[in-house]
Structure 1
Amino acid sequence: MIRAVAFDIGETLIRDDRGWGAWADWLGVSRHTLSALVGAVVAQGRDNADALRLVRPDIDVEAERAAMERAGCGEFLDETDLYPDVRSSLATLREAGIRVIVAGNQTRRAGELLRTLDLPVDALAVSGEWGVAKPDPAFFARTVELAEVAADEVLYVGDHPQNDVVPAGRAGMRTAHLCRGPLGHLWADSEYARAADWRIGSLAELTGVLLPG
């Protein structure tokens, strides 16, 4: 029985367009160029931050992120960054008595911004606050703690099979692969995605699976 649902963030709840666009502008390359490079490194199974290193090989990502903040070009999120099905789907699950949490690989600043959106969730945490990131097993152990139920009663939902589906499953959680965003589509038919308990195309579809009728 699923008693809690944990959601990834990037390309699960929010679009990553704004963030990558800001990086492209800051590094002085076209948004199309950086987007294509992100796609290339993702297809190679590399960390998407490697796209930044292709543009500037000596980049210190965290130092550059701090410089962007000081220049007023830092991270920003608002309602328009949410996928359309997010708020209603989370609210539906919560109203049905399912504990709804958010736990993903994001900066501390992103966590602060997400909280200002006042999503219908019971708890929210990001890797920047925990000091541990996916796919580290410790991240999923923390996620289970946040869910406040047994691991096999938690469903983890994400777009990245290798970062979300596989390690969450190894942690004893149920899993759903969301075919959304570049990673979600690229790896949709991979063995990693097929390892998920459910494969969905939207969060609205997920509510239909968990709350039939």
Structure 2
Amino acid sequence: MAISVVVFDAFGTLVQIGERRSPYRKLMQWMRANGRRPQTSDAGRIMSQPGGLADVANLFDLSPPVDLLAAWEAELHAELATVKLFPDSLPTIARLRNAGYRIGLCSNLAAPYGTPVKALLPSLDAYAWSYEAGAVKPEPGIYRYLLDRLGCAASDVLFIGDTPAADLDGPLTFGMSARLIDRKAGQTLDKVLDDM
């Protein structure tokens, strides 16, 4: 079947953070310093629940000092204020829409990051946020969630992102087509989509 839907990852693909403050990393460092051993599943647990920083601390049964939590919240809001689109994101989406493709977004992220991304990309055909799907890429649950929102088959989708396991291997295993973009090397969306 021919591709009729193009799905993008968010950060590193369509959007970027202008000024990183890494409040979630600071929370995790505090948790480690206060006796919680990091687990490989920690990032997935954080990104598959709908809350913010305080909810993450509660998820791990820890209570940071109120002043520290407030400082991390301030850093989070400052970081979110710097979220912006790559210059080619909107023109590429417009070109694909004009060619008849539907557009989706599928992203692993902590819940607070979804709001600025959706504000920058308000009218896509479907959004699959890890914190709403309850699963993170490359887990099949998030791709199933995406397809349910799009109402299409996996074979209808071309997935584009910047992380091999989440945006290439996961979608391919699930039956989608997939391509990687390397923004750090200066690659643009036009280059990734040049044969469509």
- The answer to whether the Cα contact below 8 Å between 2:22 and 2:76 also exists between their aligned partners in 1 is no
- Tell me, in whole angstroms, the C-alpha distance in 1 between the residues paired with 2:157 and 2:128: 16
Residue equivalent to 1:73: 75
- The answer to whether the Cα contact below 8 Å between 1:87 and 1:119 also exists between their aligned partners in 2 is no
Q: Residue 146 in 1 paired to residue 149 in 2?
A: yes
Unaligned runs of 5+ in 1: 28-48, 186-199
Report deviation, 1:123: 2.0
Amino acid at match of 1:90: I
Q: Residue 102 in 1 paired to residue 85 in 2?
A: no
TM-score where L is the length of structure 1: 0.65
Indicate the structure whose relative CO is greater, using CA pairs within 8 Å and at least 6 residues apart.
Answer: 2
Distance 1:173 1:80, change over 3 A: same
- Tell me, in whole angstroms, the C-alpha distance in 2 between the residues paired with 1:115 and 1:2: 24
Distance 1:152 1:65, change over 3 A: same
- Tell me, in whole angstroms, the C-alpha distance in 2 between the residues paired with 1:68 and 1:6: 35
- Tell me, in whole angstroms, the C-alpha distance in 1 between the residues paired with 2:52 and 2:113: 16
Q: Residue 171 in 1 paired to residue 174 in 2?
A: yes
Percent identity, please.
Answer: 25
Q: SS of 1:134's equivalent?
A: coil
Count residues in correspondence: 166
Residue equivalent to 2:6: 5
- Tell me, in whole angstroms, the C-alpha distance in 2 between the residues paired with 1:142 and 1:130: 6
- Tell me, in whole angstroms, the C-alpha distance in 1 between the residues paired with 2:175 and 2:93: 23
Q: Residue 84 in 1 paired to residue 87 in 2?
A: yes
TM-score where L is the length of structure 2: 0.70
Distance 1:13 1:72, change over 3 A: same
Q: SS of 2:158's equivalent?
A: strand
Match of 1:201 among 166, 187, 196: 187
Distance 1:170 1:90, change over 3 A: same
- Tell me, in whole angstroms, the C-alpha distance in 2 between the residues paired with 1:173 and 1:83: 24
Report deviation, 1:107: 2.1
